[in-house]
Amino acid sequence: MENIGTLEYVLDKYSKIWSWKVTGDRAVSMISRLVSEAWYGENINEIIIPDSTETVKQLKLIMDRYPLEILSKTVWQRKIVKTYAPKPVLPPVKLKLKRAKAGEQFRGKLLNFQKEGLDFLMKSSGNALLADEMGLGKTVQTLSYAATEKQTFPILVVAPLVTLNNWEREIAKFLKKKSRNGRILESESPSVTIIRTGKSKELPKTDIYIINYELLFKRNDDLSKVGLKTIVCDEVHNLRSKTTQKYKAVKKLAALSTILYRIGLSGTPIYNRGSEIWPIIDIIKPGLLGSFKEFCEYFCYVNDKGKAIVLENKRASLRNELQKHVMLRRKKADVLKELKDKVRYKEVIAADTDYYLEELDKIWKKVETEQKDAETEFSKSASYHRAIQSERQIAGIAKLPHVINFVKNIMEIEESVVVFCHHKVIHKLLHDSLQEFSPVSIIGGQSDSTRQNEIDKFQRGESKLMIAGIRAGNVGINLTRAKYVIFAELDWSPAIHRQAEDRLHRIGQKNTVFAYYLIGNGTLDDHVANVLVDKSYEIDEIMDESKENYENKDKAELILAQIQDKVRSK
C-alpha cells in the first residue's frame, strides 16, 4: 500500500518538547481530524503531535490502514514496544461442577452439561450470570433451578419483547404445577401472566410473571407488591448501561426484601466494551466489583470518547474474578462434541462504486455543513452518527444486485438459507427480488403470531429462504433448518452477529454452519469488518481466555476521515 506521508521524531522549536512531525497532504488532513492535540508546523503540509502514549496509539491505528514512511524507525519501534507491552497470563479458574438432579417439578431431560449448569446455580445460591454460548439451553437450566430450589416462586422473567411467548411455551414444556399443599400436578404447568400494557393496575396472583424490558419501569410498583422471590433477566446485556430506565427498574426490584434469587442470562453479556459487565454484576451480586468508580480505577482506562475500556493486562484477572464468584461460561465446542463447527467467510463481492461515491460525496458535504453549524458537541456527534448510518445504507444498496446473485447461487443447491440485513429498505428490496423462492420474513413491528408463523414455516421446510432484520431476528428464535447464513449488511456490534449466527448454530443443528459476510468491493464494508474484529478481541479476552494480544478501538471518526479521503481522491 502506498505511503500517504512521513513520520519523524523532532524537537518542536516552539514548545521545546520532543514531538512527532507528520508531513503529506493526505496525512495532515486525516490526522488533524483525529488527533485533537495536533497543531500545524512551519509548512502547510506539516502537523506536529505531542509525544504521548495515547497519540502513539492513535498514530498506530491510522497507520494500520494508511501507512506513513517512518523517518525515525528506532524511536518509533521503542515507543510501540513500550505502548503495547505483553500482558501477563493468569491461570483460568477451574470449576468443579457435578451433575445435579432436577427436582420433581421439572418435566424433561437435561443434558450432562446442563446438569452441571444446575449445580452451578445451586452452588451460587441462585445469584449468578449464566453466560453459556447461545444455543446451549440457558432457559432450560434456569427452569430446572426454579423446579429444584426451594421458595423460587413467584418468579419474574424480564426479557426482550420478541421472546415473551417463547418463555411461556418453555415454561409449559418443562415445568409441572405445584399445588399449595406441595403436591405435583403432572398434567398442569405453573400459571403464567404476560404483562403487555404499561397501564398501572393490580396484578393477579400467579406463579410466573413475564414482561419486556421497555415496560418494566411503568409496572415497577405493581410488581413490587406481588411478593416476588426470583428475578430472571434474559438477554441481560439489555442492562449494560446504568443510566437507562430499564436498569434502574430492575435494580429497584432486585433490592426488594422478598427477592432471594437473581439470575442473568446472556451468551453475549459484553456487547462493545468490557466495562458493560459492571451494571449487570451490580444487579446480580452487588458489591462484587465495587462501585463503578472503583471498578474503573482498577480495571479500566478511559479513552478519548469518555468510554471505560478494560486494560489489556487486566482482562484475564477480570475474567477470573467473574468465573470465581458469579459467571458460568461454556462454549459449544467444549460441551457439544457432536455439534459441527461454525465456519465464517469474508466474501468480497462487486458493488456499484459510481453510485456509492456519488452518494458519499453528498453525505460528506452535508456533514461538513452540519459540523460548521453545530452549536454543541452533542450536535456534532449526532451529525457523525447520521453520516455513518447513511453510508451503511448506500453501501447496502450499492452491492445489492450482487448480494441477490450470491443468494441465488446458494439457493440453487436447494439448501435452506437465512439472510440477515440491517435497513428496512434493504429488507424490502431483498424480499421483492427473491420472490421466486417464496421467502418468509422477520422484521421489526411484526405481531408475535405473525413472527412465529414465519419461523414455523421455515422450520417445517415450507419455505427455504428467510430474510431477517439483524436486530429483529437475532434473539429468541430457532433456525436450525438452515446451515447457510448470509450477512447482506454489517452491524457495528460483534455480539449482534454472533447472536444471529447462533440462531442456526445450536442444539438440534446436524450440519456445519457456514456464515458468509458479504463485503462490498470499493465500499467501507472492509473497515466496518475490522471494527467488529477489534471489538471482538476485548470481549473474547474477558469472556473466553483469548490468546491474541489486541486492543479494542472506536473507529467512527477514522471511518469518516476515510470517507472524506475516498471522496477527495476520486
Give the integer Cα–Cα distance in Å for 495 and 544: 14
List of residues 6+ apart from 400 with CB closer than 8 A = 426, 429, 430, 433, 488
Pair 126, 260: CB distance under 8 Å: yes
Domains 112-335 and 342-568 share a fold: yes
Q: pLDDT tens-digit profile of 424-475?
A: 999 999 999 999 999 999 888 888 888 888 988 988 989 999 999 988 766 6
The values of phi and psi at residue 261, to 5°, are: -135, 135
The three grid cell numbers given for residue 372, joined into one nine-digit string: 460548521
For domain 112-335, give its CATH number from 3.50.50.60, 1.10.3210.10, 3.40.50.10480, 3.40.50.10810: 3.40.50.10810
| Burial class of 526 by CB neighbour count within 10 A (0 to 12, 13 to 18, 19+) | middle
Give the integer Cα–Cα distance in Å for 452 and 11: 67
The three grid cell numbers given for residue 78, joined into one nine-digit string: 521503542
Whole-number pLDDT of residue 82: 56
Q: Where are the domains of the chain?
A: 6-83, 112-335, 342-568
Give the integer Cα–Cα distance in Å for 397 and 206: 49
Whole-number pLDDT of residue 570: 45
Q: pLDDT tens-digit profile of 107-126?
A: 989 989 999 999 999 999 99
Pair 443, 469: CB distance under 8 Å: yes
pTM of the model: 0.64
Count of C-beta atoms within a 10 Å radius of residue 338: 7
Whole-number pLDDT of residue 170: 93
Whole-number pLDDT of residue 131: 94
Domain 342-568 has CATH 3.10.20.80: no
In which residue ranges of the chain is pLDDT below 70? 1, 81-95, 304, 338, 413-414, 473-476, 492, 530-542, 545-570
List of residues 6+ apart from 211 with CB closer than 8 A = 156, 157, 158, 159, 164, 194, 195, 219, 223
